[in-house]
Structure 1
Amino acid sequence: MRVSTSYRFAVLAAFGLAASPLAAQETPEEVAAAALEAAPVWDGHNDVPIQLRARFGNEIGDFDFVDTLDTETAERKAMHSDIVRLRQGKVGAQWWSVYVSASLDEPEAVQMTLEQIDVTKRLIAQNPDALQLALTADDVEDAIANGRIASLMGMEGGHSIGNSLAVLRQMYDLGARYMTLTHGRTLDWADSATDAPRHGGLNEFGMDVVREMNRIGMLVDLSHVSEAAMHDALDVARAPVIFSHSGARAVTGHLRNVPDSVLERLPLNGGIVMVVALPWFINEDLRNHAANRAAEQARLEALYAGLPDEVEALMAKWDAENREPVSTISDMADHIDHIREVAGIDHIGIGGDYDGMPHGPVGMEDVTGYPALFEELARRGYSQADLEKISMRNMLRVMREAEAYAASQSGAAPIEYPAGADRDPKD
């Protein structure tokens, strides 16, 4: 067989590149940098909007989001996020959480969620050179191509819809593109991971919430829900689910994390776990230390009721004798390793939870730390293609698949309940 000269040169060139000592010696830093250049981080959860409410009452006319290091006060540490540091952290797309407290009465929660959507849109509009509102996967790619951080909105907790599928649909129309089914409290239709269960997961109305979210193209977020509710949602879902900010329960036993029984189901569903940076969720020693400290506080308050100064002094002694463990980047990487082992590389993302926690792990205290995490993963043998999936491409696929399913249901009627009956979910 005659082989062309150009073909021989191509083969030799390819062999030379593969055998090149320079290629073989590509450093973890270089692998991580190349991955984040090609596919910057699409982060699953950031709580800047609730910081705007807590710090400024949502009055942001004079707020400078370019640099927030000057936001530290006697009561609050500086914010974790701003445009300069998001750029340093190689964040290309951000889910902004329009969270409000689950302790609110539902009508108030609905109103406050609307206000959080409003303030998030105003923040984006005030920074047009850096932020761009994104409602679709195409919008995300367009924003990044324009050199802006794609800005999406997710609701954190089904209390934000007030037991109403009509409100759910209107929140979608206003731009919310995911909803975490619960936050810290069990709802009339869904059990929380950190509250007493009432439904054994989701009741029938809760399953209809998942069905309607799939129909309209809103992503179902299962962070914060009970294990039974995770399984119920996966039973019903016809589009990929997400965990916007969770770890692996087999690594750290916090109930906010995802058990292996659920991780094993993700390949069939197509969903992803966006791994959280919150130290108490990713370091078992730290989680146990927090529990022991809370128990000691309760013990002393029972022993010295009415003597707060004595309790404070004894707690200071306990703290000095029981130093808090330290969480590191390695802890977060361990969770990624475990999810890869159980669910596979196609089912991992990143969901830091910055500005919704006291601080991140050492080396990832704020949003600038993502490159260090990806360097650690590269040191562990993750390829550039692997890292691109984790940083952005898995989330992009999930959103496209959710959009495709919604498009396939364009002729399907909305799920309806008689007016007022949405508040009487069916068990």
Structure 2
Amino acid sequence: MADLQDEFDTTAEAGELDRLPADAPGAEAAEPEPGARLGEVPDKARALLAAHPVADGYSGLPWALRGLPYCDLESGDSCLETDVPRLRAGGVGAQFWSLHVPEEIAGDRAVSATLEQLDLVRHVVTRYGDALRLARDASEAADARNHGRVATVVGPASARAIGDSLGALRSLHALGLSVLTLADTSWAGGAGLSAFGEEVVREMNRLGVLADLSGAPEETARRVLSVSRAPVLFTRSGARALREHPANLSDDLLAAVGAAKGLCLVPLSAEQTGTSVRDVVSHLEHVRRVAGPECVGIAGTYDTTAAHPAELDDASCYPRLVAELLGQGWSDAEIGALTWGNVQRALRGADFTARAARERREASTATITRLDG
């Protein structure tokens, strides 16, 4: 971790600071900016993103950064799918940074891996403070956007990260965690949501931590939808009616998400939503029709192992997706809700629920031994 942080703080190469800005007289012709390869994108698409930037519901950047000996997010000179130039070219206003923990990492190692990534996220956001800003709720995300920064929302993290401890959940929230994936534990897994799992959801509501259910068994997902008083997220789920995939949702579950005013974030993943921009739009339209227009959003899934649809290769490519939506007859208001408004609604809902819950109950002292025996 220390070595990687040192690399983020490495001083400029000799002569780097002497280079002229690209628009200065006498400067050499610059390389095409990210997104330029997309061809003719209507000005209206870019204008819409200026007014309603993308709130990207899932980025794998923290785990990707762990494996790099060096990275400069400002120059765009990296093997990553996300950096500052790409975020700006893509009209991104907020990103959820996943604290991914592989399935083979369990117990204390899962907790430490999550903490290391959270520490790295805070370091990176501080290092690139002119472009990024941590945000816990809707007002902080809007404030970051209004100051020209990309709001960085921490999460989702695996439920294994709390180690069956509500105290650990509170500690992670104090460090900035905003989303927790309720899957792959004894209390939220194949057997459904246990009594302790229900108490975890109630404590998340009290804290303002959003529940993510992508990858959770349907029985668990339905119980969380019932128990949670805050909006529930599916951070990377398409429509199973269009493409069979374990993380995609059935129409019955999509309807339940809509009834609970949750949010399904459709991933830009070739495996889950198809190999073309039009395939992605089909999923967005299906989720909008079944769950409702306020219950659909976008998850880039950039810097994960996912392959992406053609012309949606990295975080600079959102104008291409918006152009396709315009071509398919989406209105400005519908696109604005998809890209920004619906995520803001979920964040506001979590904050409102937390304020109300804290007036009714103290921090829970429940333990998994006491509730699940």
Q: TM-score, normalised by structure 2?
A: 0.86
Are residues 187 and 381 of structure 1, via their aligned partners in 2, closer, same or farther at CA, if it must alter by over 3 Å?
Answer: same
Q: 2:187 aligns with which of 183, 186, 189?
A: 189
- Offset at residue 44 of structure 1 (A): 0.5
Q: Distance in 2 between matches of 1:423 and 1:79?
A: 43
Structure 2 unaligned blocks of 5 or more: 1-39
Alignment of 1:15-414 (within 5 A): 29-56=42-69, 63-70=71-78, 78-182=79-183, 186-191=184-189, 197=190, 199=191, 201-283=192-274, 327-411=275-359, 412-414=361-363
Opposite residue 368 of structure 2, the aligned amino acid is D
Task: Report the counterpart of residue 324 of structure 1 in structure 2.
Answer: none
Opposite residue 65 of structure 1, the aligned amino acid is L
Alpha carbons 1:329, 1:364 under 8 Å: kept: yes
Opposite residue 426 of structure 1, the aligned amino acid is D
- Offset at residue 128 of structure 1 (A): 1.2
Alpha carbons 1:35, 1:385 under 8 Å: kept: no
Q: Distance in 2 between matches of 1:370 and 1:216?
A: 32
Q: Distance in 1 between matches of 2:306 and 2:181?
A: 21
Q: Distance in 2 between matches of 1:249 and 1:358?
A: 18
- Offset at residue 34 of structure 1 (A): 2.9
1:192-225 deviation digits (Å, cap 9, x = unpaired): xxxxx2x1x2111112111111111101111111
1:267-317 deviation digits (Å, cap 9, x = unpaired): 33211111101111113xxxxxxxxxxxxxxxxxxxxxxxxxxxxxxxxxx
Alpha carbons 1:282, 1:331 under 8 Å: kept: yes
- Offset at residue 410 of structure 1 (A): 1.6
Q: How many correspondences in the alignment?
A: 333
- Offset at residue 137 of structure 1 (A): 1.1
Larger Rg: 1
Secondary structure in 1 aligned to 2:309?
A: coil
Are residues 259 and 67 of structure 1, via their aligned partners in 2, closer, same or farther at CA, if it must alter by over 3 Å?
Answer: farther
Opposite residue 264 of structure 1, the aligned amino acid is A
Could you tell me the percent identity over the aligned residues? 35
Secondary structure in 2 aligned to 1:187?
A: coil
- Offset at residue 187 of structure 1 (A): 1.4
Secondary structure in 2 aligned to 1:220?
A: strand
- Offset at residue 105 of structure 1 (A): 2.5
Opposite residue 236 of structure 2, the aligned amino acid is H
Q: TM-score, normalised by structure 1?
A: 0.75
Alpha carbons 1:81, 1:367 under 8 Å: kept: yes
Opposite residue 333 of structure 1, the aligned amino acid is V
Q: Distance in 2 between matches of 1:127 and 1:413?
A: 37
Alpha carbons 1:31, 1:384 under 8 Å: kept: no
1:114-168 deviation digits (Å, cap 9, x = unpaired): 1100000100011111111112211111111111111110033111111111111
Secondary structure in 1 aligned to 2:42?
A: helix
Opposite residue 129 of structure 1, the aligned amino acid is D
- Offset at residue 249 of structure 1 (A): 1.2
| Greater helix share, structure number | 1
